Amino acid sequence: MSELNPNSPITEWELDEWPQETRAELTTMLIEAGIAHRWEDAILIAESAREVDVEEILDEIENLEDEIEEQDDDSDQADARVLSQLAGLAQKIARNPSDAGVVANLERLLESIDASSAPGDMGDSVWRQIKDLASQVEDALVGGDRPDEVLAMDLASRLAAILRSNL
């Protein structure tokens, strides 16, 4: 990377709200683009002749951050969708626990929520309770030698009630 020309006009960008990791990413992109720059704390300094190039890189990073935030929002929406699906499955199992298709869907749904955190504004304890009850329903239907349909119906009814009150 070339040094800033001390006789060239400079432009400054105050990026103190940007996390250190994002500023490090910006530094890498500036070096790759061959843009001479320096940092003074959280202030980026570059030659004014390269201002448009720097602005394009800043926009690219900001757009990427926006996409990441949108994906995070989408994952919350997916959680709400999963909760609705789980509520529907719990209601079906409470009525007919011998429906193999519903049980298979429950198993797939449990795999998708197994490592996920509590969606939206739901408390962690409620989320754990939902996941535990759903796992107990699954265990009652496929965990033993024979399905315990009575237990599965009871657990599924409780699960459906908790989901109804939290959706």
Q: How many helices (H) and strands (E) does the chain have?
A: 5, 3
pLDDT band at 70 (very low <50, low <70, confident <90, very high): low
Mean pLDDT of 75-91: 75
pLDDT, one tens digit per residue, over 27-65 is 988 998 999 999 999 999 999 999 999 999 998 888 776
Q: How many CB atoms lie within 10 A of CB 148?
A: 16
What distances in angstroms separate CA 6 from CA 27, 40, 52, 76, 82, one per listed residue? 20, 15, 19, 50, 58
11 beta partners: 46
pLDDT at 2: 65
Are 77 and 36 in contact, with CB atoms under 8 Å apart?
no
User: Taking a C-beta distance cutoff of 8 angstroms, is the pair 69, 39 a contact?
Assistant: no
What are the Cα distances from residue 89, in Å, to 52, 79, 131, 136?
A: 55, 15, 13, 14
Query: Alpha carbon of 133 to those of 44, 60, 122, 145, 162: distances in Å?
Result: 53, 44, 16, 20, 10
pLDDT over threshold 70, residue 13:
yes
> Which H helix or E strand runs over 166?
helix 149-166
pLDDT at 94 over 50: yes
Q: What is the pLDDT of residue 77?
A: 46
